Amino acid sequence: MALRKILKYPDPILRQEAEPVTAFDDELKTLVADMVETMYDAPGVGLAANQIGVLKQIVVIDITGSEAVEKELVTLINPKITNGEGEDEDEEGCLSVVDLTAKVKRFTTIQVEAQDLDGKPLNFTAEEFYARVIQHEVDHLNGHLFIDWISSLKRALYKKKRKKQLLAEQSNEASS
Ligand code: ZN
């Protein structure tokens, strides 16, 4: 297992769509193990493969750390949200969108189709916070970030702040 680098906005890879996984082999298992290690290290409640620069439809989730329903580690390969109901607005953040949280509207109940690490089909209902995290991670696989769903003013302010941050980082590197 190895820690992978988490890409940060505005890295263009975060805007690309992930490809479906077709081979459920050892390479996939190693990749998922790396993703899990990287997620726990961050720490985060979810990670999509895009976030470590791998354009494959893989997400890992563990919301046990939250106050929500007890849930263990979940690996979803080729996940699709086939139905959504209800609507709820709550604060979200992202390991790839540093220094920002914002309220995002999501379905409260979703139907999910995916495969597990061995390629076995999964079909289940997710609710509340778990449903929110899945929607956030599936967004990543489609090249979306939660800032796509906030007001254009807030997004513009964040872009500006990020630009400044990156410039400061560059000049720090240049002077050291
Ligand atoms: Zn995210």
Domain spans of the chain, in order of start: 12-175
pTM over 0.85: yes
- Domain 12-175 is classified in which CATH homologous superfamily? Peptide deformylase (3.90.45.10)
- The pLDDT tens digits for 54-86 are 999 999 999 986 555 555 899 999 999 999 999
* Confidence (pLDDT) at 1: 75
**Exposed/middle/buried for residue 113 (C-beta within 10 Å: 0-12, 13-18, 19+):** middle
Distance from Cα 175 to the centre of ligand 1, integer Å = 32
* Confidence (pLDDT) at 167: 94
* Confidence (pLDDT) at 80: 98
In angstroms, the Cα distances linking 2 to 17, 23, 171 are 24, 21, 30
- The pLDDT tens digits for 84-136 are 999 999 999 999 999 999 999 999 999 999 999 999 999 999 999 999 999 99
* First-last CA distance in the chain: 32
Distance from Cα 8 to the centre of ligand 1, integer Å = 10
User: What's the distance, CA 123 to chain centroid?
Assistant: 20
Average pLDDT, whole number, for the chain?
A: 94
Contact 114, 79 (CB under 8 A): yes
* Confidence (pLDDT) at 71: 58
Q: Give the pLDDT mean for 148-170.
A: 95
Active-site residue identified among 19, 70, 137, 173: 137
Q: What percent of the chain has pLDDT over 70?
A: 95
Distance from Cα 124 to the centre of ligand 1, integer Å = 22
Pick the residue with more confidence: 1 or 21?
A: 21
Half-sphere exposure of 131 (CA within 13 A, CB side): 24
* Confidence (pLDDT) at 66: 56
Q: Give the pLDDT mean for 150-160.
A: 96
Q: Is 137 a catalytic residue?
A: yes
Contact 118, 107 (CB under 8 A): no
